[in-house]
């Protein structure tokens, strides 16, 4: 059941997609990744990122990230924590990365409050997330599959209106790409606290 709840084989051993690399483009300084999974993206961080803080609640995934952390030049800290309770001080990060995490969060607004708290002034959230489709038929399909999908994929809700949630939380949102991945609408972009 635990295996079913956290779809580990889906994430471990995968290669980073171009979108995940693009998500991290031109980041600098200290970057915190929410629900970082198995550290799949570690090799994609730009050299100007000096410190990477991976926050991950699942002990299996934290252990999976450790070997990849040894392979990068940046300092990597792998911390136990949940997206809505980040174990780092206020204003300690230049950027926060959310990749397929806001869709799973039991409290999106709580998570976004934490993102705001840990960002330094001028900092940004980079996101790569599911997005409710603007097409009502596709949005209806997303809603219909959600109960089963959520059980099979660690609480993921593919029809969540992530962009609306970001705006409601007081972020200025810039979408750099909207695209289907495995047929499901996704968005890639940047959000800055207003
Ligand atoms: C789909 S995976 C994405 C992993 C990684 N960010 C990536 O892009 O490959 C979702 C992540 O959110 C975390 N997560 C999901 N639900 C959670 C919850 N209720 N509390 C804490 N973490 C959760 C999982 O442990 C997992 O790391």
pLDDT band at 15 (very low <50, low <70, confident <90, very high): low
pLDDT higher than 50, residue 82: yes
Q: Around Cβ 24, how many Cβ atoms within 10 Å?
A: 22
Of the chain, the percentage scoring pLDDT greater than 90 comes to 68
Residue 1 has a pLDDT of 27
Residue 111 has a pLDDT of 97
For residue 154, what are its two tokens? 């660690």
Q: Give the global pTM.
A: 0.91
Residue 161 has a pLDDT of 95
Of the chain, the percentage scoring pLDDT greater than 70 comes to 92
Distance in angstroms (rounded) separating the CA atoms of residues 182 and 67: 29
Closest CA to 130 of 113, 147, 105, 112: 105
pLDDT higher than 70, residue 3: no
Q: Which CATH superfamily is domain 2-193 in?
A: Vaccinia Virus protein VP39 (3.40.50.150)
pLDDT higher than 70, residue 114: yes
Alpha carbon 117 to its chain centroid, in Å, reads: 17
Distance in angstroms (rounded) separating the CA atoms of residues 194 and 181: 30
34 Cα: distance to centroid of ligand 1 (angstroms): 8
For residues 114 and 143, the answer to whether their CB atoms sit within 8 Å is no
- Kindly report the backbone phi and psi dihedral angles of residue 119, in degrees, each rounded to the nearest multiple of 5, phi listed first: -75, 140
Domain ranges of the chain: 2-193
Q: Which residues line ligand 1 (CB under 6 A)?
A: 6, 11, 35-37, 40, 56-58, 61, 82-83, 99-101, 104, 106, 154-155
């Amino acid at each position: 059941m635990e295996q079913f709840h956290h779809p580990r084989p889906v994430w471990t051993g995968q290669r980073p997609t171009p979108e995940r690399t693009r998500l991290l483009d031109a980041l600098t300084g200290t970057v915190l990744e929410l629900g970082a999974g198995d550290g799949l993206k570690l090799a994609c961080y730009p050299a100007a990122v000096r410190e990477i803080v991976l926050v991950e609640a699942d002990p299996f995934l934290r252990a999976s990230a450790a070997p990849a952390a040894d392979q990068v030049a940046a300092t990597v800290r792998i911390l136990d924590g949940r997206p809505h309770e980040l174990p780092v001080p206020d204003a300690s990060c230049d950027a926060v990365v959310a990749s397929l995490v806001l869709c799973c969060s039991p409290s999106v607004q709580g998570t976004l409050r934490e993102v705001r708290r840990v960002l330094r002034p001028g900092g940004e959230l980079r996101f790569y997330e599911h997005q409710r489709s603007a097409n009502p038929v596709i949005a209806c399909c997303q809603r219909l599959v959600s109960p089963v999908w959520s059980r099979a994929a660690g609480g993921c809700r593919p029809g969540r209106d992530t962009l609306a949630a970001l705006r409601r939380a007081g972020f200025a949102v810039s979408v750099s790409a909207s695209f289907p991945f495995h047929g499901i609408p996704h968005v890639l972009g940047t959000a800055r606290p207003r």
